[in-house]
Amino acid sequence: MQLEPLKQKCMQHLREFYAQWRAIPIDKLEQKWITISLIVIGLFVGIITVDALFHSVNPPGKIETVDSASLHLNEEFAEENLGVQVDAKGDITIRMVAGRYSFFPKHITVPAETRLTFRWVSMDVLHGVHIPMTNMSTMIVPGYVAEITTTFPKPGEYPMLCNEYCGLGHNHMWSNISVLAREDWVAPARLPVEGAANDK
Ligand code: CUA
């Protein structure tokens, strides 16, 4: 194995670095402030690491593109496919469109204490979505799908806020998600999609 010499070389460099560092004349007060700032940085990195590992606060996982200008023609994000859907395995996916100045569909109802996969797209400009008390906080970049998996800890009304400045109506861009107890929630019935629009 080549690892041992590499380790020795690294240790050697570290020792040299430490010796050089010790040789720099630093004022006592300055030393104190350097220590404080290093502790603060360490604290922040620690918080981010704990959040990422234990509270699944992560950036949207994969890069998936979508044509924001033709979402209505897109199979997945056509109007009739938006909102809550339960697949054959029982997994819940919620497809949402952000557009100036609202989230569509306007209102959804989801179960608490259940793993939910949100798929967000923008129909126009850069938006964001933030749901307090959950890990939901992401940019919704036009041209990309932002996928976030979240769980609502308890039933209630959760606000859903746009947190990227998107225009004059930005501060009005918010809505609510109703979260019901798992046993009270009923999966929404799906209307047959094909040809349905012509029958009305
Ligand atoms: Cu949408 Cu701010």
For the stretch 89-126, pLDDT in tens is 889 999 999 999 999 998 899 999 999 999 999 999 99
113-172: pLDDT as tens digits: 999 999 999 999 999 999 988 889 999 999 889 999 999 999 999 999 999 999 999 999
Q: What is the pLDDT of residue 1?
A: 59
Listed residue (199, 200, 196, 175) closest to 81, CA to CA: 196
The atom number, within ligand 1, closest to the CA of 100 reads: 1
Cα(162) to centroid(ligand 1), Å: 4
The atom number, within ligand 1, closest to the CA of 163 reads: 2
The atom number, within ligand 1, closest to the CA of 170 reads: 2
Q: What is the pLDDT of residue 32?
A: 94
The residue contributing the CA closest to ligand 1 atom 1 is 127
Cβ-contact 185, 111 below 8 angstroms = yes
- From the number of C-beta atoms within 10 Å of its C-beta (0-12, 13-18, 19+), residue 85 rates as middle
Cβ-contact 102, 175 below 8 angstroms = yes
Cα(195) to centroid(ligand 1), Å: 34
Cα(169) to centroid(ligand 1), Å: 7
Cα(165) to centroid(ligand 1), Å: 5
Instruction: Output the six-digit token pair for 112.
Output: 């608490």
The atom number, within ligand 1, closest to the CA of 101 reads: 1
What's the predicted TM-score (pTM) here?
A: 0.68
Percent of the chain with pLDDT over 90: 52
Q: What is the mean pLDDT of residues 50-72?
A: 77
Cβ-contact 143, 70 below 8 angstroms = no
Residue 49 has φ and ψ, to the nearest 5°, of: -65, -45
Cα(145) to centroid(ligand 1), Å: 16
The atom number, within ligand 1, closest to the CA of 126 reads: 1
Look at phi and psi of residue 143 and say left if phi exceeds 0, alpha if psi is from -120 to 50, else beta: left
- Ligand 1 site: residues with CB under 6 angstroms? 127, 162, 164-166, 170, 173
Cα(79) to centroid(ligand 1), Å: 20
Alpha-carbon distance of 119 to 83, in angstroms, equals: 10
| Residue with tokens 């044509």, as numbered in its chain | 67
